[in-house]
Amino acid sequence: MPTKTWSQGQRILVVVLTHAYGNRSGVRYMTGGLKVYYVPWQPFLMQNTLPTFYGTFPIIRTILLREKVSLVHGHQAFSTLCHEALMHARTMGYKVVFTDHSLYGFADVGSIHMNKVLQFTLADVTRAICVSHTSKENTVLRSGLPPGKVFVIPNAVDTAMFKPAPERLGHNEIVIVVISRLVYRKGADLLVEVIPEVCRLYPNVRFIVGGDGPKRVRLEEMREKHSLQDRVEMLGAVPHASVRSVLISGHIFLNSSLTEAFCIAILEAASCGLLTVSTRVGGVPEVLPDDMIVLAEPDPHDMVRAIKNAISILPKIDPQVMHDRMKGLYNWNDVAKRTEIVYNRALKCSDQSLLERLSRYLSCGAWAGKLFCLVMIIDFLLWRLLELWQPAKDIEEVPDVVLPCDQDGEKIIQKIYNQVDH
């Protein structure tokens, strides 16, 4: 996500860079002064482009120069386009910021390899952002990044989009809502054991499950085995625009994740006035006050206990009061201002020579450090070759037109999340 700062009033103009989505390719202009570049790289797995290392350099260089970018901000550790963009931006001398939204372990093969990739990317990053203190600790341990470079800025929720139902729901029938990707990491296997037990204990409880994934088959089999077709409704994939309509039809929101850096779905549910039951993992305990969430260990028996507790305190919950509290706890104004502080600190950092940067890569490991240095040396030589082939002065820059941005840029990040798929 390249960012450039206008001189008038220090407004920030955000230019979003992402891969192509289906037939959507090229440049799109959106409200609030947003410009989105859909580079012609199609995803091949889980919305990720094929790693090319250097294949994206020419187009990324052109966009950065055309837009007169000051700073490049990348998101998500599993995004190959993010890693490549940050690498090329640092080669060209830009300041870069990375935001990590996830938690990863240290034991399985996938996490070990991902941690090494993250160590490579963050070895030369200017500043980093994590969405929770737990996420910060995890990122520092995985990447070896100095803690002083890492800032904690939580996610937020658009409370104007997620409002409680106009009329308060009765408690004759209690509806528990689950909206999640149905995968192992999101605890879909826990739901298979928890749902039948809760239905057995409470005849007036009904479940609404929104989401899709490889574990949906197990939930369908569970529903058939226990004859719960009339009490467990499977919605499949739910578009983000329809999430509120699903949430306001329930009383309790259930999150069964096995690992979670923050979980923005909990914010959306709380903003709609739902009492949350969640596993006590990752950064989840940091998200909501104790009287708005019931935590449980990622164990079926403890989750059933937590749901019992939630049902008992449900009459005390006022959805509108909960919504009003969420307005004060999490809002995009605060996120935008805190992010701007990180940007300003990154822009004030002094430039460093190639040798100084290579020394940081060299410290990443006996063999990995040498390999990282080789990758960056090739990237630097490729940049010089591109400069000879198409000098920066020959690339046409966009005109400095003052667009109708919201004051202080507080709405910009919110609009990115609402309008652009990551």
Mean pLDDT of 116-138: 91
Of 339, 324, 336, which is closest to residue 159 (Cα–Cα)?
Answer: 324
pLDDT of the residue at 57: 95
| pLDDT over 90, % of the chain | 64
pLDDT at 422 over 50: no
- Taken in order of first residue, the domains within the chain and their CATH numbers are 2-156+332-419 (3.40.50.2000), 174-329 (3.40.50.2000)
For residue 395, CA distances in Å to 71, 160, 214, 380 come to 19, 42, 46, 19
- Reported as a single tens digit per residue, the pLDDT across 196-228 is 999 999 999 999 999 999 999 999 999 999 999
* Rounded-to-integer distance, Cα 280 and Cα 345, Å: 34
Please list the residues that pair with 73 across neighbouring strands.
Answer: 97
Of 17, 158, 134, 14, which is closest to residue 75 (Cα–Cα)?
Answer: 17
pLDDT of the residue at 1: 58
384, with CB counted inside 10 A (0-12, 13-18, 19+), is exposed
Of 206, 258, 256, 262, which is closest to residue 235 (Cα–Cα)?
Answer: 206
pLDDT of the residue at 390: 93
- Reported as a single tens digit per residue, the pLDDT across 352-397 is 888 888 888 988 888 888 999 999 999 999 999 999 999 999 999 9
- Reported as a single tens digit per residue, the pLDDT across 143-177 is 888 999 999 999 999 999 999 998 888 888 999 99
120, with CB counted inside 10 A (0-12, 13-18, 19+), is buried
Instruction: Report the predicted TM-score, pTM, of the whole model to 2 decimal places.
Output: 0.85
Please list the residues that pair with 15 across neighbouring strands.
Answer: 35
Say if residues 34 and 16 touch (Cβ distance below 8 Å): yes
Residue 6 CA, chain-centre distance (Å), reads: 27
For residues 157, 161, 166 and 172, what is the CA-based torsion angle, rounded to 10 degrees? -50
Taking every pair of Cα atoms in the chain, the longest distance, rounded to a whole number of angstroms, is 74
- Reported as a single tens digit per residue, the pLDDT across 28-51 is 988 777 889 999 887 877 677 778
- Orientation of helix 368-389 relative to helix 80-91, angle to 10°: 70
pLDDT of the residue at 97: 96
- Reported as a single tens digit per residue, the pLDDT across 87-109 is 999 999 999 999 998 888 777 77
pLDDT of the residue at 399: 81
- Reported as a single tens digit per residue, the pLDDT across 317-326 is 999 999 999 9
How does residue 335 score in pLDDT terms, banded at 50, 70 and 90?
Answer: very high
